[in-house]
Structure 1
Amino acid sequence: MKLFSIAAGTAAMAIAGILGWAEWMHRGASKRRLGGRSSAPGRQAIVVLGCRNRGTRANYLNRYRVRVALRSIDPHATETVVVFCGGAVGSDIPEADLLLHYACAQRGYDGGYVLDRLSRTTWENIANVVDLLSEFDTVKIASNSMHAEKARAYLWKQRPDVAEHLVAAKDYRFGEITPVKPIAAIRGIRALRRSRATL
C-alpha cells in the first residue's frame, strides 16, 4: 500500500510537471513573433486555422479556435474580417465551412468573413490568404498558442512586410484546453525547429 502511494504520488508530480511545462510553453508562444503595432484602431483581420475535422460538425479543436478568434476581436477596430481557413482534409466538407457555421450558428458571429477552402497545411493557410492580409492594419492568428506561433513564423518567412502587422490574439488562458497543451507544445517545438532549418 505504501509503495502504491509513493508511485501514485510520483506519477501525480510528473503529470503536474508536464502540465506546468506545457502552460509555460504556451504562455511564452503567445507573445512571440509579433509585429510592432498596437491592436487598434484600424482594419483588423483574424485568421482562424482549421484542424483536420471528420464529420459534419466542427470538432473540439476547431470550436476552440473559433472561440479564440471571436474573443480576440477588438471592438475599437474600424473593420473586422474573420478569415476561416481549411480545405476538405478530414471529410468532404471544407474545414473553413465548418468553422464558419460554428461561429455564426452557435457563437452568434454576424460580421465580415472570408473563406479559404483550399488549404491543407498551416503553410498553405498563410500562403492562400497573405495577399488579403496585406490590406489590413493588424493581423491576428487564432489557434492554440504554439500552433499560432508556427503560423506567425510562416508569415514572417513568406511576407515579412505583412508580418509587421501581427498583433497578439487572446489565445492563451491558464488551464484552458489543458489535455491538448503538452502534445501541442511538442509539435510546436518540432515545427519551429524544422522551420529554422529551412531558412
Structure 2
Amino acid sequence: MVVLGYRNPQTTANFINRWRVRAGIRSITADSARGTRVIFSGGATSGGAAEAQLMADYAESVLEFAGTVLLEDQSRTTWENITNVIPLLEDADRIKIASQPAHALKARAYLRRQRPDLAEKLVRADDYRPGEWMIAKPLLALYGLWMLRGLKADERKTSL
C-alpha cells in the first residue's frame, strides 16, 4: 500500500493527507490483508517535517494503525513518489496506491511508465466512495482533468 502525500506546511497532517491516510488504511482493512506494508510517500514542504512522517504519525497516533510502516521522505512530485517507492515495492504481491482518484490514476500511469513489470501487480485502492467529497467533487474533477492532461489516452483508463 502506497499513500501519496500532499503539500503539508503545518506540523500535523493536513485535511487532505488525513483523508489519504484513512483511504489507505481502509484499503488494507477491506482485504483483511495481513502483513501489508504501508509506504507513506512525500518529502518536506516549506522546510517543515516530511509529509510521509506526518501521515505516519497520524496513522499511528490517531487511527491506531499498528502495522508495518515505511517512509519515503524525499519526494516532491508524483513522479518522484513513484521513482522513490519502487525499491520498497520490488517484492510485493500486490500494489495499491491511495490518493484522490485522479492523482492515484496518474501515479499508476507513472508506475507503468517506469516499471511495467511492477504495474502488473496494481490493484485499486479503496480511495473512491460515492458521496465522499460531494461538495468539492466538481472542483476536484476539473483539477483532476487538468492534472491528467499529460497522460496518453491509454494511460487514462481507470480499469486495472
TM > 0.5? yes
**Contact conserved, 1:150 with 1:188, CA < 8 A, in 2?**
no
TM score, norm. by length of structure 2: 0.88
Task: Give the CA RMSD over aligned residues.
Answer: 1.7
- Report the equivalent of 2:92: 136
- Report the equivalent of 1:145: 101
- Report the equivalent of 1:171: 127
User: What is the rounded CA distance, in whole Å, between the counterparts of 1:146 and 1:90 in structure 2?
Assistant: 25
Listed one character per residue, the Cα deviations across residues 77-101 of structure 1 (whole Å, up to 9, x for unaligned) are: 3520000011011441000010000
Q: Kindly indicate whether residue 3 of structure 2 is the aligned counterpart of residue 48 of structure 1.
A: yes
Query: Structure 1 residues 126 and 180 mapped into 2: Cα distance closer, same or farther (>3 Å)?
Result: farther
**1:195 CA drift (Å):** 2.7
TM score, norm. by length of structure 1: 0.72
**1:132 CA drift (Å):** 1.9
Query: Structure 1 residues 91 and 59 mapped into 2: Cα distance closer, same or farther (>3 Å)?
Result: farther
**Contact conserved, 1:63 with 1:99, CA < 8 A, in 2?**
yes
**1:57 CA drift (Å):** 0.8
Paired residue secondary structure (1:93) = coil
**1:126 CA drift (Å):** 0.4
Counterpart AA for 2:26: R
**1:114 CA drift (Å):** 0.8
User: What is the rounded CA distance, in whole Å, between the counterparts of 1:97 and 1:107 in structure 2?
Assistant: 14
Listed one character per residue, the Cα deviations across residues 168-189 of structure 1 (whole Å, up to 9, x for unaligned) are: 1111111112234333322322
Q: Kindly indicate whether residue 42 of structure 2 is the aligned counterpart of residue 66 of structure 1.
A: no
User: What is the rounded CA distance, in whole Å, between the counterparts of 1:47 and 1:93 in structure 2?
Assistant: 19
- Report the equivalent of 2:143: 187
**Contact conserved, 1:53 with 1:91, CA < 8 A, in 2?**
no
**Contact conserved, 1:140 with 1:169, CA < 8 A, in 2?**
yes
Counterpart AA for 1:70: I
Give the gaps of 5 or more residues in structure 1: 1-45
Q: Percent identity?
A: 51
Q: Rg: which structure is higher?
A: 1
| Higher RCO, 1 vs 2 (CA within 8 Å, ≥6 residues apart) | 1
User: What is the rounded CA distance, in whole Å, between the counterparts of 2:21 and 2:8 in structure 1?
Assistant: 14
**Contact conserved, 2:40 with 2:70, CA < 8 A, in 1?**
yes
Counterpart AA for 1:116: E
- Report the equivalent of 2:112: 156
